[in-house]
Structure 1
Amino acid sequence: MLLSQLIHPEITAVLAASGHHSTILIADGNYPALNKRGPNAKLISMNLTPGVITCDQALRAILSAVPIEAAMTMETEASGPYALDGDPPVWNDYRKSLREAGSQVELKPLEKWAFYEHVITPDHVLTIQTADQQRYANLLLVVGVRMDEAV
């Protein structure tokens, strides 16, 4: 029986085969996951019904399984129908989850098209498509290095 919070067999298999600098996209329910992914990325749909599961729930499971060295979000728009005043509330959830996991990683917002460019690389190994309905909930994680204490 696995000890981490992550027990999904396909996600676990992809993470076990990934390495340093591999990227993992936790996509919200509006992300075009079928056509905006890297050529090596496995797409796993975890979108049962609106809001189940959320991106933050997926993040917490991933953080229990692998080290993360970077986390990028899609920058909010300043005008138009999707504009927000300040950070989306979900980003505070991510910051809290990262801190609770002992991570010092800071969220790095990327312009929308730059975010897509970061996703569609050969390093992208996994997309977890959630049913999160929050705006700007997409999160691109970079796998870090396991830093065990010397014995």
Structure 2
Amino acid sequence: MLLTELTHPDMLRALGTAGHGANILIADGNYPLETRSYKGCTRVYLNLRPGQVPVTDVLQAVLTAVPIEAAYVMPPPEGMEAAPIFKEFRELLRGTDGRGGDPEMVSMDRYAFYDLARKEDTVLAVATGEQRIYANILLTIGVRHA
């Protein structure tokens, strides 16, 4: 029996074959997953209906399986207030770098985020039903420390 809270077989398979430096995309319900993620990555569709499954639920499950070195987010355009979900991301990421520290959370513009998600380092892309805007997060897997 698995000890991790993550039980989705395709997600476990992708993470089990990934290593340090590989990326995981968790996308909101507006993200163009088919065209803005690496073609060879494992794609998982958890977008059951609007609002389900939330990005934060997927993030919580993933964090039980792998350490995180860095997280990338796509901020709203200048003039719009910061996406409230970023605070939730920071709270969930606290202490998950494999040594009890906090991974760096980096903001990057939309097209730079898309470019990073399309690179072959992206091993897993998860579509969610999240309806909050700018609720996409790209995680870089860190190192497991003894």
**Length-normalised TM-score, structure 2:** 0.93
Deviations 1:71-117 (A, max 9, x none): 000121125xxxx22x2111111111112654411321101110011
Question: How far 1:4 moved relative to its partner?
Answer: 1.1
| 3-state SS of 2:94 partner | helix
Give matches, 1:37-116, under 5 Å.
37-79=37-79, 84-85=80-81, 87-99=82-94, 101=96, 102-116=100-114
Contact 2:46-2:127 at 8 Å conserved across structures: yes
Aligned position for 1:141: 139
Give matches, 1:123-134, under 5 Å.
123-134=121-132
Contact 2:95-2:102 at 8 Å conserved across structures: no
Alpha-carbon distance in structure 1 between the residues aligned to 2:78 and 2:92 = 26
Contact 1:40-1:123 at 8 Å conserved across structures: no
Alpha-carbon distance in structure 2 between the residues aligned to 1:137 and 1:10 = 22
Contact 2:10-2:42 at 8 Å conserved across structures: no
Alpha-carbon distance in structure 2 between the residues aligned to 1:5 and 1:65 = 8
Larger radius of gyration: 1
Report the aligned-residue RMSD.
Answer: 1.2
Structure 1 unpaired stretches of 5+: none
Contact 2:43-2:125 at 8 Å conserved across structures: yes
Question: How far 1:39 moved relative to its partner?
Answer: 2.9
> What code does the residue aligned with 2:62 have?
I
Q: Which runs of at least 4 in structure 1 moved beyond 4 Å after TM superposition?
A: 100-103
Alpha-carbon distance in structure 2 between the residues aligned to 1:43 and 1:67 = 20
Structure 2 unpaired stretches of 5+: none
Contact 1:29-1:129 at 8 Å conserved across structures: yes
Report percent identity of matched pairs. 38
> What code does the residue aligned with 1:142 have?
T
Distance 1:129 1:103, change over 3 A: farther
Deviations 1:49-68 (A, max 9, x none): 11111111111111100011
